[in-house]
Structure 1
């Protein structure tokens, strides 16, 4: 269904700076629908009537979307036979020069929906930084770079990743070489733009600003970083925002566009795909690890190639990695306490199949596309339904099947009911025999004690306290603590 909505293009992060400040608000003018059109952006909206659709009309082709022949051929070589719905609707609008907000479930092909038209434009004028892509995590930045390079393999594409944890001077030199596409996390690109006067001119001809996982990028904690980015970009750029979930921030962003804008919505609310089987195990908290080992021991019998285990804190993630190591399980851990090289190494080992288990905080819940992930295990239940949707979206991607199992303790019952209400689906019980599970309790408890001692020997607790202190100080300086708390309560995230 298509509809036209009149919008006031005055969103604070995207508004053009005003030359004069008004001391008092102007009186409300009389309604003049026709004359207002000159100052008010129009939003074209399309809502997909079939939210679970991952395929589109068989008559639609990449060539039919207006892409160049080389791009069509590249898609064919990469096994992309037909465009997905989000690609079908968004690619032509981006090629028309519109700002686009694309809302579609995980695994629906959102990256290609913005990368292909950007590369199409790059082939026409391959000079300077054409696109700046902002994404919330380092892992996503590297994954996006891989996808851009694959889709732009015929263009001799120069793509640069700019994230924290890497050498600033090296990154600055790379940007001075003016790569075609820059993929960055908000904090690091802000530092480079502010501290090196030679960097802002690099983006003087940038035509595209992309916010990937836009709901997370637009979290209040990144507001300051985004303001710096927007000030350095041309006003006549196209702004492209893609997300798997809708938030109040993105609703506000429907007012962003000085251009005509297009909003594609593949579904309303927080949804999980039909090919995902969602189950729970109701257990006492003190035997979580025993049940974890039981489920992992059944992976081969269940035909599960690899699994991601989500936990709530870096401490839990590190402790579980020590526990599984003690129990001779091939597992790697991914959390923000690790250095960037350690994080990339862990992800590489998991993607290449050297380790079949990835332990992770929510740093890995966004966008990561690893086809062999057949199981997502929620060791800790997330506080907000949105995080649950993103976690379980790491499996059952692009029409494939998958399993999500959640460990539910007495304290988690309300959280699970809230998740079920939001996703519109009741979790089924995961069948397991208690006697069989608890037969391994002594070995697991012993390994847990050893892992806890190793955690203390590592000095992890002291590092965690210092890190938390620094983070709270930074948020307080930015005035984000109170805002973030109020915002999350209001949005029910």
Structure 2
């Protein structure tokens, strides 16, 4: 539906351009691309399409969708692709697993094929892992036009990334902090002088106060005439504010109001004594194969818990890898790669993995620590039951968590069922788990994790204090 709110004061930085970007003449020496039919007009309709060919995409793009198994567009794709092709700014809020990435990737690639140059599109992501995955999807869909895509994220050599950006790839996918640092170089900033598209994926997070200074700098260096696309699974206060200050300068799509989970997801809770969480977790994971679960993601609240559970599960013989911010980027990607390839069936993760990651084999999500924010819950459980598949989520709750469960139920408009657990079978392994618990804690002392964590915390607090930002609790 189209937003029709009046336009009050403009924000500190200009998110949307005041006019639709004009398409520049096609250069004669541009790389060759597959033949395309004439550009179609795109009526502003709310009717869903049965085929990607109905959306005005080039034949090569439609054929690529078919080859990748994308046979019918989802609602967010049906509504947003024609709007983007027509030159509109878009704010789309839709459930996890609803096809948001293809909703902006396909029209960008369609336009790019008509005038191949770089940097044509910039995509900002809140996490390194999501940025890496977005690049994989851009490359898969853009293979027919020989897409050149560069990822600019922390954890890698800045000189190498600067050299890659200086070559003006077609698409740049970046985290805000690293891109801001790179754009301090005049040559790198100039590479974005003709950028046609700015995309904020998981926009509610990118618009968070922690990225504000970075975003201010990036927006000042981008062309004023461009299309701006926001995509998120949840309509947060940041996006609500954006919708108010932006007037009618964008097309708003809300799928299920962006606050619901998919019907194919079975959501349950398990009441667990706080000092026995490890026991119940070990039991559930040890029965994955018997329960027909191919792989599982276990979400925890802190890096410390993530590291601790990795050591504990290793002691009880359960293969698992951990993904958290205290690991180097190379180790993080290695862990994710082992999990995605099926080498390891369990991924232990903080919320760094709750955004956008699409791994088809994930049948189970466990909230070892239930999140304090209902939008974080929606993003976490959205790692399973994607693209019409089924899935199960189990949230461990203690007595103090009951109010959080009620709040989540109010947002998703569904009651969580109780997960049935064989208590006798659970306690059969209590000795083994308790021994593993002691060993894991000793290993954490030996590997210096606690000291390193404290040092990181102090550095982070100093940075936040210097910026005048307090992290939300």
TM-score (norm 2): 0.91
Structure 2 distance, partners of 1:316, 1:440, is 21
Structure 2 distance, partners of 1:301, 1:16, is 52
Partner of 2:12: 12
Contact 1:14 1:256 in 2 (8 A): no
Structure 2 distance, partners of 1:9, 1:71, is 40
Partner of 2:332: 343
Q: Secondary structure at the match of 2:102?
A: helix
Give the counterpart of 1:404 among 393, 396, 401.
393
Is the aligned partner of 1:193 residue 2:183?
A: yes
Matches for 1:23-102 after TM superposition, within 5 Å: 57=48, 60-102=50-92
Structure 1 distance, partners of 2:442, 2:16, is 56
Q: Secondary structure at the match of 1:319?
A: helix
Is the aligned partner of 1:171 residue 2:161?
A: yes
Structure 1 distance, partners of 2:148, 2:413, is 44
Aligned-pair CA distance for 1:303: 0.6
Matches for 1:113-132 after TM superposition, within 5 Å: 113-132=103-122
Aligned-pair CA distance for 1:4: 3.3
1:192-223 CA-to-partner distances (Å, cap 9, x unmatched) read: 112x2211101000010000000011111100
Q: Secondary structure at the match of 2:4?
A: strand
Partner of 2:322: 333
Are residues 271 and 404 of structure 1, via their aligned partners in 2, closer, same or farther at CA, if it must alter by over 3 Å?
same
Aligned-pair CA distance for 1:269: 5.2
Aligned-pair CA distance for 1:419: 1.4
Partner of 1:435: 424
Contact 2:87 2:227 in 1 (8 A): yes
Structure 1 distance, partners of 2:359, 2:369, is 22
1:229-259 CA-to-partner distances (Å, cap 9, x unmatched) read: 0011000011000000001111122256598
Matches for 1:221-236 after TM superposition, within 5 Å: 221-236=210-225
Aligned-pair CA distance for 1:414: 1.8
Partner of 1:215: 204
Partner of 1:112: 102
Q: Secondary structure at the match of 1:374?
A: strand
Aligned-pair CA distance for 1:271: 1.0
Structure 1 distance, partners of 2:9, 2:110, is 28
Partner of 2:138: 148
TM-score (norm 1): 0.88
What's the C-alpha RMSD, in Å, of the aligned pairs?
A: 1.9
Structure 1 distance, partners of 2:272, 2:66, is 48
Partner of 1:362: 351
Are residues 187 and 124 of structure 1, via their aligned partners in 2, closer, same or farther at CA, if it must alter by over 3 Å?
same
Structure 1 distance, partners of 2:57, 2:65, is 10
Aligned-pair CA distance for 1:5: 3.2
Are residues 150 and 15 of structure 1, via their aligned partners in 2, closer, same or farther at CA, if it must alter by over 3 Å?
closer
Is the aligned partner of 1:137 residue 2:127?
A: yes
Q: Secondary structure at the match of 1:108?
A: coil
Contact 1:282 1:409 in 2 (8 A): yes
Are residues 16 and 102 of structure 1, via their aligned partners in 2, closer, same or farther at CA, if it must alter by over 3 Å?
closer
Unaligned runs of 5+ in 1: 18-43, 49-55, 489-493
Are residues 288 and 258 of structure 1, via their aligned partners in 2, closer, same or farther at CA, if it must alter by over 3 Å?
closer
Q: Secondary structure at the match of 1:114?
A: helix
Structure 1 distance, partners of 2:82, 2:251, is 11
Aligned-pair CA distance for 1:384: 1.0
Unaligned runs of 5+ in 2: 18-42
Is the aligned partner of 1:374 residue 2:366?
A: no
Contact 1:104 1:267 in 2 (8 A): yes
Partner of 1:51: none
Partner of 1:383: 372
Are residues 258 and 380 of structure 1, via their aligned partners in 2, closer, same or farther at CA, if it must alter by over 3 Å?
closer
Contact 1:162 1:188 in 2 (8 A): yes
Q: Secondary structure at the match of 2:191?
A: helix
Aligned-pair CA distance for 1:7: 2.3
Aligned residues: 448
Aligned-pair CA distance for 1:412: 1.5
